Amino acid sequence: MADQDEDLVDVDPYAPAEPETTIPVFKGLCAPSGYATKRQLRAMGLRPGGQEPVAEVETRGPKNGLLYEIAKARPVHPMTLAKEFALDKAMGARQTCDTYRRRYFFVLPTSLASCLGCHDASQLHRSPGRTPAGRVKASRPGSAGARSRAPQHRQEAGALLPHPFEIRRTPA
């Protein structure tokens, strides 16, 4: 019976296969020199280059900032004309109104697929029996206002209507 007890080994099935390694955590501005965050590396023209973080720095938020060794960092890939063209094309798709193909300096909401002026104008034409204030028009049976019309597109006789935000100046 004593021989059987010596052969048994206590095994923890939840123990990690490899020993867990922890990295040091530094207070806000107490990180040693030679370490930098991704933003600091980017400001220096460097990138982490595939290296694992070597330390953490405490922040005010729920996540800590990861620190990388500056000596192991690699230079950032330079911006080529092809990359710049691709990024401009992608941003242009997010900043262009689908109705008038006009590009803005800000990103348009994807839920609207147009600028706010075109979206507001299309909402006026969505329900033909409503006025801009949202009230229902009073109409008699058989009158022109009683029949329902399809929503009008912002184009009449092949000419585009002026954009809602466009300011027209009259010649003096």
Tens-place pLDDT, residues 85-139? 999 999 999 999 888 888 888 998 888 878 888 888 777 665 555 444 544 555 5
pTM over the 0.85 mark: no
Tens-place pLDDT, residues 26-45? 988 888 899 999 999 999 99
How far, in Å, CA of 33 to CA of 150, rounded?
A: 69
How far, in Å, CA of 102 to CA of 156, rounded?
A: 19
